[in-house]
Amino acid sequence: MLHLDRLGVRTRNHVGRAKRRILGFLQARGSGRECPLCGWTGGKFLAFGRRPYVQLNAQCPDCGSLERDRLAYILLKDRLGTGQLTLHSSPEPALQCWLKSISTSYLSIDLDGARAMRAMDLTALPLPDESYTLVYCSNVLEHIPDDARAIGEMRRVLKPGAHAVIIVPVQGETTDEDLSVTDPRERHARYGQSDHVRFYGLDIIHRLNASGFRVTRLDETELDDGLVERHGLPRSGSRAAMQKMFMCEAV
């Protein structure tokens, strides 16, 4: 029997996709843009977000992928092999088909079980040690007060030599964090969202190293301008480019 909460989420997803397709037909006619995840082509991607943080040319009208999703695919498709045992935290719908296609085993998790295959807390995973070869975790750690525990759990469930792909918003060199800040308005002003508990700096690499990862930073600067333009990828200096990707090898 289909759980009613899951039915509600699926219904909303179908409605959202239909709305995007209508907007895509009205606003994205033409050519020059292509979503590498679903193959959609058109004149432009849709705007995404709320004022004052609206991102233009950001969302695919078909699969709903955002700039960071398409960038992840472009940067990782030739780096990740097939046959993965994949754990996908707070799963992005636009990435699930691709991640499943390179996996012999795939599990999506979220605190809200209606949004994934299983309800799990990333800081306390009821999973065996060294049971996965890939963990994909995008825009999750900035929501978790005890991020060291979450990072440690990802390392624990990975086989040696396996990888975690971790994406977080980054601003500057040093992480801004004060867990005593609980007012949503203050969090929004300080960390960019009311449900964020920190704004990472590039020193997140030290946190990842401390949990047993060897870290490689990946970004759009290794791609040519034509590819960035065609696939609607983040441009250096844009708000979308604040999302930084770290490929973390378990050592």
Q: Per-residue confidence of the chain (251 residues) as pLDDT tens digits? A: 333 333 344 434 444 555 545 555 555 566 789 999 999 999 999 998 877 677 888 999 999 999 999 999 999 999 999 999 999 999 999 999 999 999 999 999 999 999 999 999 999 999 999 999 999 999 999 999 999 999 999 999 999 999 999 999 999 999 999 999 999 999 999 999 999 999 999 999 999 999 999 999 999 999 999 999 999 999 887 888 899 999 999 99
Question: Is residue 158 in some structural domain?
Answer: yes
pLDDT at residue 29, as a whole number: 64
Rounded to 10 deg, the angle between the 67-76 and 93-101 helix axes is: 10
Give the single-character DSSP code of 16: H
User: Phi and psi for 17 in degrees, rounded to 5?
Assistant: -70, -40
Question: Is residue 98 in some structural domain?
Answer: yes
pLDDT at residue 5, as a whole number: 38
CATH of the domain at 236: 3.40.50.150
β-pairing verdict for 243-250 and 41-42: unpaired
Residue 133 CB-half CA count within 13 A: 12
Q: Does residue 200 contact residue 142 with C-beta atoms inside 8 Å? A: yes
Question: Is residue 29 in some structural domain?
Answer: no
User: Phi and psi for 93 in degrees, rounded to 5?
Assistant: -55, -35
Question: Is residue 190 in some structural domain?
Answer: yes
Collect all residues with Cβ–Cβ distance below 8 Å to 233 and sequence separation of at least 6.
67, 70, 71, 74, 220, 223, 227
Beta bridge partner(s), residue 107? 87
Question: Is residue 148 in some structural domain?
Answer: yes
Q: How far is the CA of 202 from the CAs of 87, 132, 157, 216, in angstroms?
A: 25, 26, 25, 12
Quick check: helix, strand or coil at residue 157?
helix
pLDDT at residue 239, as a whole number: 80
Evaluate if pTM is beyond 0.85.
yes
Question: Is residue 207 in some structural domain?
Answer: yes
Total structural domains within the chain: 1
Say which residue the tokens 């990842």 belong to.
208
Query: Could you list the residue range(s) of the whole structural domain that residue 175 is in?
Result: 67-250
Q: Does residue 234 contact residue 243 with C-beta atoms inside 8 Å? A: yes
Question: Is residue 47 in some structural domain?
Answer: no
Of how many residues is the chain composed? 251
Distance separating alpha carbons of residues 239 and 174, to the nearest angstrom: 18
What letter represents residue 211's amino acid? S
Question: Is residue 106 in some structural domain?
Answer: yes
Distance separating alpha carbons of residues 57 and 158, to the nearest angstrom: 36
> What is the per-residue DSSP string for 72-110?
HHHHHTTTS-SSEEEEEES--HHHHHHHHHTEEEEEEEE
Instruction: Pick left, alpha or beta for residue 166 (phi over 0 → left; psi -120 to 50 → alpha; otherwise beta).
Output: beta
